[in-house]
């Protein structure tokens, strides 16, 4: 057994207890149906059609459970294939699905390099896996072969700058613990970690928390034997090499370099999308993962929200609270880990934000505010751009 397989049999990741399914549903990016719809189908997917999905490298089941639970609650049909090499991880994912009474899931033990052998999929989730492959590009290529022409993917890979301090420790622990079994590696690494100086880049990085969340988290962060981070430019290049196109990022504002530029400083001409995003990543320095959506090259995705029949949703914030902040200050505070930023939105847009409930269309919100299309768009579109960039506004007719 190689070291990666040995790790996930000993310490399935992320660490999950199926009994906790009675208490909470873990949600996040990618692979929430609302987010998928927004980035891959312009918020206009017909959810009466069964969604054929693959969770490639499903681990202990976070993406699987989120996807199946949300669609089940919305009473939408689906067929999901879970695929992972770790039998220990699969067992936990199966128990979590059983605890929630989720049907429509096929569990398979195998490699994502064989994804196309399991069918053609409308949606593929691959979260936290590709950067652990011996040849990551082979993984991108394999997933692209399993994607239906009108489908899309949600991908998460590690990023280098926000994980400062991790990779020297991974290398050092690899040397120190060579030949030991997983439990002995963990014990030795924890003892060394406790003796690191306060000035070590790892200790100084406030964005790293996995090592504080149990043995599996510590092992995955600092003892992984195969971990290759991607800059955003490298990720986009890997997608393109696999015949895919970047279709958006849930926190698009992170990748906008304009937020760092003082008055009078402009971006060089000809940077392109990947160049601008790369510049923002370098200026930011805190991004530890990249979450992106992708579609087959040449596939045209409708612009989310363009149609007045589109239905807006708020993610991670309450409409009433958000509207109060905007009405009071003409801005709201966005929190990302230890970082806080202020997002400016016109006070006059607050009544429109109150109307967002995941069921009303833009047309209905405009009508309730007694605004004609011209007046509505003048208020709504600038607010929409800011909210989408902040990752708190999505379009989908899932609940309509």
Whole-prediction pTM:
0.96
Q: Return the biggest CA–CA distance within the chain.
A: 71
In the block, tokens 């909210």 appear at 387
Residue 247, Cα to own-chain centre: how many angstroms? Answer: 13
Give pLDDT < 70 ranges for the chain.
1
Mean pLDDT of all residues in the chain? 96
User: How far is Cα 353 from Cα 372, in angstroms, rounded to an integer?
Assistant: 17
In the block, tokens 């390099």 appear at 113
Strands 78-84 and 105-109 come out as parallel
Tell whether domain 3-158+230-296 is in CATH 3.40.50.150. yes
- Alpha-carbon torsion angle 265, 267, 269, 274, nearest 10: 180
CA 271 vs CA 144, 154, 260, 277, 316: distances in Å: 27, 25, 16, 9, 32
Cα separation of the two ends of the chain: 49
Cis peptide, bond prior to residue 345, ω within 30 of zero: no
Name the phi and psi angles at 230, rounded to 5: -120, 130
pLDDT 10s digits, 238-247: 999 999 999 9
pLDDT for position 190: 98
Name the phi and psi angles at 55, rounded to 5: -105, 100
pLDDT 10s digits, 158-201: 999 999 999 999 999 999 999 999 999 999 999 999 999 999 99
Residues 6+ apart with CB under 8 A from 114: 142
pLDDT for position 334: 85
pLDDT 10s digits, 225-276: 999 999 999 999 999 999 999 999 999 999 999 999 999 999 999 999 999 9
| Cβ pair 115, 54 in contact under 8 A | yes
pLDDT for position 363: 97
User: Residue 204: which of 165, 159, 158, 160 has the closest Cα?
Assistant: 165
How many residues in the chain?
400
CB atoms within 10 A of CB 289: 17
Residue 44, Cα to own-chain centre: how many angstroms? Answer: 20
pLDDT for position 1: 61
| Cβ pair 395, 42 in contact under 8 A | yes
pLDDT for position 254: 95
State percent of the chain over pLDDT 70. Answer: 100
Domain ranges of the chain: 3-158+230-296, 162-222, 312-394
Tell me which DSSP letter residue 327 carries.
Answer: H
CA 193 vs CA 171, 216, 217, 233, 356: distances in Å: 13, 15, 14, 32, 47
Task: Tell me whether residue 335 is exposed, middle or buried, using C-beta atoms within 10 angstroms of its C-beta: 0 to 12, 13 to 18, 19 or more.
Answer: exposed
């Amino acid at each position: 057994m190689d070291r990666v397989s040995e790790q996930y049999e000993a310490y399935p990741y992320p660490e999950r207890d199926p009994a906790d399914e009675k208490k909470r549903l873990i949600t996040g990016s990618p692979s929430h149906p609302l987010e998928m719809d927004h980035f891959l189908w312009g918020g206009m997917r017909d959810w009466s059609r069964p969604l054929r999905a693959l969770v490639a490298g499903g681990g202990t089941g976070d993406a699987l459970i989120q996807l199946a639970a949300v669609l089940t609650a919305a009473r939408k049909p689906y067929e999901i294939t879970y695929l992972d090499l770790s039998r220990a991880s699969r067992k936990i994912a199966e128990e979590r699905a059983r605890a929630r009474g989720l049907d429509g899931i096929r569990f398979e033990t195998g490699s994502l390099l064989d994804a196309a052998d399991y069918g053609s999929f409308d949606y593929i989730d691959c979260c936290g896996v590709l950067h652990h492959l011996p040849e990551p590009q082979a993984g991108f290529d394999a997933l692209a072969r399993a994607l239906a022409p009108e489908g899309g993917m949600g991908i998460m890979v590690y990023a280098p700058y926000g994980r400062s301090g991790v990779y020297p420790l991974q290398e050092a622990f690899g040397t120190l613990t060579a030949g030991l079994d997983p439990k002995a590696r963990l014990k030795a690494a924890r003892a060394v970690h406790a003796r690191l100086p306060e000035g070590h880049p790892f200790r100084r990085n406030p964005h790293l928390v996995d090592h504080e969340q149990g043995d599996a988290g510590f092992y995955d962060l600092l003892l992984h034997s195969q971990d290759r981070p991607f800059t955003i430019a490298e990720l986009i290049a890997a997608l393109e090499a696999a015949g895919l196109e970047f279709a958006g990022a849930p926190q698009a504002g992170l990748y906008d370099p304009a937020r760092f530029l003082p008055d009078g400083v402009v971006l060089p001409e000809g940077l392109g999308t990947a160049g601008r995003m790369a510049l923002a990543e370098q200026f930011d320095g805190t991004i530890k993962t990249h979450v992106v959506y992708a579609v087959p090259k040449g596939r045209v995705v409708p612009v989310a929200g363009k149609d007045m029949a589109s239905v807006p949703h708020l993610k991670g914030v309450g409409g009433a609270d958000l509207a109060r902040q905007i009405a009071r200050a003409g801005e709201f505070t966005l929190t990302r880990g230890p970082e806080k930023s202020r997002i400016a939105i016109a006070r006059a847009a607050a009544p429109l934000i109150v109307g967002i409930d995941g069921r009303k269309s833009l047309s209905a919100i405009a009508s309730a505010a007694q605004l004609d299309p011209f007046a509505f768009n003048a208020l709504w579109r600038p607010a929409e751009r800011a909210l989408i960039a902040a990752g708190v506004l999505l379009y989908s007719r899932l609940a309509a």
